[in-house]
A and B are shown apart, each in its own frame.
Chain A
Amino acid sequence: MPRVHRRQRTWLARFVRHYPLGAAAGLAILGLASLAALAGYLAPYDPVANDFGAMFAAPSARHWFGTDAFGRDVLSRILYGARTALLVGFASSLVGATIGGIVGVTGAYFGGTIDLLIQRLADIMISFPIIILALAIVAILGSGTVNLIVAIALSFVPRIELVVRASALSVRETAYVEAARAIGARHWRIILRHMVPNVTAPYLVMLTAFLGQAILLEASLSFLGLGVNEPTAAWGLMLSGAAVEFVERAPWMAVFPGLAITLTVLAFNVLGDSLRDALDPRLRT
Chain B
Amino acid sequence: MHGSQAPGGRPEVRLAAVLLTGLLVWLLSAPLSAQQPRTGGTLTFIVSAEPPSFDAHREATFALIHPARPHYNLLVKFDPLSYPKVVPDLAESWTISPDGTTYTFKIRRGVRFHDGSVLTSRDIKASYEKIIFPKGDVVSVRAAAYTMVGSVEAPDPATVVFRLKWKSPSFLQNVASPWNWIYNADILERDPHWYERNIMGTGPFKFVEYVRGSHWVGARNEDYWVKGRPYLDGYRAVFIGNAAAQVNAVKSGQALVEFRGFSPPQRDDIVRALGSGATVQESGWLCNNTVVFNSKRKPFDDARFRKALSLAIDRWGGSTALSQIAIVGPVGGLMRPEGPFATPQADLEKLAGYGHDITAARAEAKKLLAEAGVPEGFEFNLLNRNVEMPYRYVAVFLIDQWRQIGLKVNHVVKETGPYLADERAGNFDAAVDFNCDFYDDPDLQLVKFLSVEMPNGAVNALNYGGYIDRTLDRLYDEQSKSEDATRRMTLVRQFEKRLLDDKVWQIYVLWWKRIIPHSSKLHGYKVGPSHYLEDLQDVWISE
Contact = CB atoms under 8 A, between A and B. Distances in A.
Interface of A: 48-50, 52, 55, 69-71, 142-144, 224-225, 229-232, 240-242, 244-246, 249
Contact of B241 (A143, A225, A242): A225
B390 to A, nearest CB: 11
A249 B325 CA distance: 12
Contacts of B399: 48, 230-231
Contact of B324 (A55, A143, A230): A55
B401 to A, nearest CB: 8
A240 B269 CA distance: 17
A113 B243 CA distance: 49
Contacts of A55: 321, 324-325
B395 A230 contact: yes
A246 B247 CA distance: 12
Contact of B265 (A70, A71, A142, A246): A246
Interface of B is mostly: helix
A69 B400 contact: no
B39 interface: no
A137 to B, nearest CB: 15
B242 A48 contact: no
B320 A52 contact: yes
A143 B413 CA distance: 7
A52 to B, nearest CB: 4
Contacts of A229: 411-413
Contacts, number: 65
B317 interface: yes
Contact of B243 (A52, A142, A245): A245
B525 interface: no
A26 B41 CA distance: 59
Interface string B309-338: 000000001101100110000000000000
Contact of A242 (B318, B325, B413): B325
A52 B321 contact: yes
A245 B403 contact: no
Contacts of A143: 386, 413-414
Interface in B218-251: 241-244, 247
Contacts of B318: 52
A52 B269 CA distance: 22
A210 B185 CA distance: 58
B242 A49 contact: no
B397 interface: yes
B407 to A, nearest CB: 12
Interface in B405-437: 411-414, 418
Nearest to B387: A225
Contacts of A52: 317-318, 320-321
B388 A225 contact: yes
A245 B412 contact: no
B266 interface: yes
Contacts of A246: 265, 325
B242 to A, nearest CB: 7
B289 to A, nearest CB: 15
Contact of B242 (A71, A224, A249): A224
Given A241-B388, A245-B247, A246-B325, 15 more contacts: A48-B403, A49-B400, A52-B320, A55-B321, A70-B396, A144-B412, A144-B413, A225-B241, A225-B386, A225-B388, A230-B396, A231-B399, A241-B243, A242-B325, A249-B265
Given A144-B412, A245-B269, A246-B265, A231 B386 contact: no
B392 interface: yes
Contacts of B320: 52
Nearest to A50: B400
A201 B317 CA distance: 57
Given A50-B396, A231-B396, A245 B413 contact: no
Query: Which of A50, A52, A241, A246 counts the most B-chain CB atoms under 10 A from its CB?
Result: A50
A143 B241 CA distance: 15
B429 to A, nearest CB: 15
Nearest to A232: B411
Interface in B253-307: 263, 265-266, 269
Given A55-B324, A69-B325, A230-B395, A225 B265 contact: no
Contacts of B400: 48-50, 70, 231
Contacts of A244: 244
Nearest to B324: A55
A69 B395 CA distance: 14
A40 B131 CA distance: 55
B230 to A, nearest CB: 34
29 contacts: A48-B399, A49-B400, A49-B403, A50-B400, A52-B317, A55-B325, A70-B397, A142-B418, A143-B386, A143-B413, A144-B413, A224-B242, A225-B242, A225-B386, A225-B388, A225-B413, A229-B411, A229-B412, A229-B413, A230-B392, A230-B396, A231-B399, A231-B400, A240-B242, A241-B392, A242-B325, A245-B263, A245-B265, A246-B265
